[in-house]
Structure 1
Amino acid sequence: MLDAGTLSYDQVYLQSLTAKSAGKLKLAQGGLGWKESSTAQVTTLASADFSSIAWFRAMRGYELRIYLKDGSVHKFDGLPAEALEELKDFVKEHYQVPFETKELSVKGWNWGKAEIDGNHLEFKVGDRMAFDLPLKEVTNAVVTIKDEIAIEFSQPENVDKKTDTLVEMRLYVPGNESDSAEEGDEGLDAAKSLCEKIKGFSEMNQVTGEVIVSLPELPCIVPRGRFQMDMTPSYLRLHGKSYDHKILYSSIVKLFLLPKADEMHVLFVLALDPPIRQGQTRYPFLVFQFNKDEEIEVALQNIDEETIKSKYEGKLQMQYDAPTFEVVSTLFRLLAGQKIIVPGSFRSQGNGNSIKCAFKANEGFLYPLERNILFLPKPVTLIPNGEISHVEFARMGSGSGNPRSFDLKFYLKSGQDVSFSNIAKEEYQFLEDFLKQKNIDFRSKDEDEGRRKKVTKEFSDSEDEAAVKRMRMNGDDESSPDEDYDDGGDESSVGEEYDEDFNSDEDSNEEEGSESEAASEADDTATEED
């Protein structure tokens, strides 16, 4: 619609991977503006920044594409066919930049050529573009196997989980870059070269002014590797050897800080929804392992004292010099705004916070917490107490008359069950007391009550009878089962509950399962508390 030197169109979409609502597009001599109908958010572009303009056939009608001098591209979809001629005349009169009418490839071929054009990746069939992707939406790009690139995309916030979104795309790029190859040189691997270009043009390798703190080389055991962590006010970015991940703080469901049974390490666990992906494997949990005595010194950047007082209630410090696990957990608690769950009142036969057991073929430790049952390290298995229907003790009397271990099976209200095996017989009474305290129904698989009493008696008559009674008495006297870590505002010291948590005499000889098997099983078994 032409109106006194301006053009305006209704029901026009500012195109992106998550475009949902239309708005009004208005062109004037100084540039153009688009106002979203639902939020009244305004986007403006100055005509002095235009380098060229193109007209395409699109899914909602026609698309006006604005190319800027900095290489970025803005697309407006939903324009009527009759707008073409008046737009041509308007651009020629007021913007003095090239205006092209381009045709898209509609052959339907899935082979062609992928090229970087500005901040977009274009896939061309012949000399026509089939589709393009905004590189600013790319969160990770990696060569998974020979000649294949996996490109992962960021997911929108505050969107219905039933909505379909583009998560990943794979491109097969065979051969070498012959253009750059000299005589006698085979040239660069084409897939690796394109992958590096995508990383360079996307925001993955861009260090922006948003980063508040960088933590180098954090050891991670799920998934295995070392990651540099950059933390911003709204998200964190993990940089690994092969994979990079952007994680919104709003995606962090729970945080756990738990002592390992060897009394030398601390496990820091992030529960994520949605999970991160590495190839075909999803990881709903990240598990970092820190040496209890290792310290780190970091300084905050791109933040001032006034922001710390107004946004973080003065709890952030400009400088940290403390044990690594304490610094990392404190930063997560304040920046992500999540409470940190630590061990509660449960104590094992060895006065630890966990019991040694096996989940399928993987040995690990079971942490009975105040509101959850958590198995670590791999595969991470979280069972909220509220989702447990009942618990069954199994293999109580199998084999010899004095069994050395038993199994524990959790039946969930969803109909699923999760089993843990090879639990030392000395832990039986402590688990029973814990289940009673949490009002969780439990039973023995052996329906003969007399045999159950006999097995219980065998446990109590063992050489550890005095220790069992003493631990049970200590558990009953526990008066501070609080599982939320709060250092009381002192960011440079650890609360007393940590000193208790590391007082563990359990066996530390732990075997770790294979990472690929653990990761695939994590999706099947992990559940999250609402």
Structure 2
Amino acid sequence: MTDGHLFNNIFLGGRGGTNPGHLKISPGGILWKKQGGGKAVEVDRADILGVTWMKVPRTNQLSVLIKGGPWYKFTGFRDQDLSTLTNFFQSHGITPEEKQLSVSGRNWGEVDLNGNMLTFLVGSKQAFEVSLADVSQTQMQGKNDVILEFHVDDTTGANEKDSLMELSFHIPNNNTQYIGDENHPPAQVFRDLIVQKADVGAGGEEAVVTFEGIAILTPRGRYSVELHLSFLRLQGQANDFKIQYSSVVRLFLLPKFDTDFVVQSNLSMSEDLLYTKYKDKLEPSYKGLIHEVFTTILRGLSSAKVTRPGKFRSCQDGYAVKSSLKAEDGVLYPLEKSFFFLPKPPTLILHEEIDYVEFERHAAGGSNMHYFDLLIRLKTEQEHLFRNIQRNEYHNLFDFIRMKISSSGRMMEVLLLMILERKNLMPVKNPGKKDFKREVSSSKAVTKRKSRDGEESQKKRKPKKKKDPNAPKRSKSAYVIFSQMERENVKKSNPGIVFGEITKALADKWNAMSAEEKEPYEEMARDDKQRYKSQVQLII
């Protein structure tokens, strides 16, 4: 019990909908990671103020209150998980509280303001609750009605079709919870409390700083970018977009070209707010390159981390290589912990999600021999094929991947395989330039794919077609099938073996096998190849 508990398929609730992920509860705190990478929530044990359980439709919900922050709500727990986690929390000095959900359908009751959460109670049971951090404006309608307007977030459409925009409360003059007078009725008292806790008011409507005429790729056009206290707004001639900082997971500052455009920006913010809430995060004014000033201010307001290019440099000392993904041309940024393809489709690939990488050369003849492809296969069996990378980028890109593997405590096995077999490289001659090499073992540990030109490379090339997202999975080589089947046996026969040594052991074992011993795997590879061809023909 002291080691903690790990739960899969746990949903984190929020204004943008629910996101599935993995939740780990340990004596040190709580860690939730979004499935497929991205947003992570980490709460230290010392920051936890309270924990509550609630039975919700078809599952159970765990709510965690942290110091000076919101409630985190996790759903997806089974009934048997309640007693296990309750005992775990109690053994570490936290007593979970059980709440009940009201299902009576009544729309009258009491309002409880706890921190930045508003809870509507019917009797002693909770009917609903909202975060006051999402409230953008409050206003009185008559003497007894209070209207709460919520922030619009244009990023929520990906998860939820509907979004809460407005909520109205009717508070009669005889209300005993919020006592007022003739000039200050109970509804006005309630509104004042909301304004105080939600931190809304006249200052919340004014932009902290505005950047005019910024060229944006998605959505395409020129926009005025307004940075507010809790959101940013893109204002164009025809469109208006708003993004909540709570929806921002990470910022990427990826140089595309050099610029010397210098700006000076003064923040429109009170000194009290600047030197309290944003102390050590923001300064009264900034002067410098526009992208640096914009990123610094946005980071201070959103508290999101900034990722910049790492050690990779292209042959022209740039930070990215030109390539194509599907039918779109763009640039691929090899970063310290991920690959990022821009501008569309914007594709982020974390290193920890990669199963293996293949370098694929084009067949000799024609202009295609000056390019190569990079195939990245994920552990989810999804593949990303980056086409038409210039051949002179190969050595820098390969050396960068090799460096990331050798310096990583957790090796990516097929990537390491290419390094181990470098002595068996197949050169492709090109007069006047360095030899371009593709990682291919003489024992066929990695099977060379046919180029898109194939045997008809001399014929006229057909125009490129868009890749079908429902296309069948590519066929596997004999070595890949062998390594997948034998990996567990190598682990069992060599307790304590590390990832890199597993790959080396598999490669040595494969190279030592005779043609007869390899034949079953070759046959499975031929069957898989035939399967792929048959599925492709069915689609055609």
Please indicate the TM-score interval, normalised by the length of the shorter structure. Answer: 0.3 to 0.5
Is the helix fraction higher in 1 or 2?
Answer: 2
Is the strand fraction higher in 1 or 2?
Answer: 1
Which structure has more relative contact order (CA 8 Å, sep 6+)? It is 1
TM-score by length of 2: 0.43
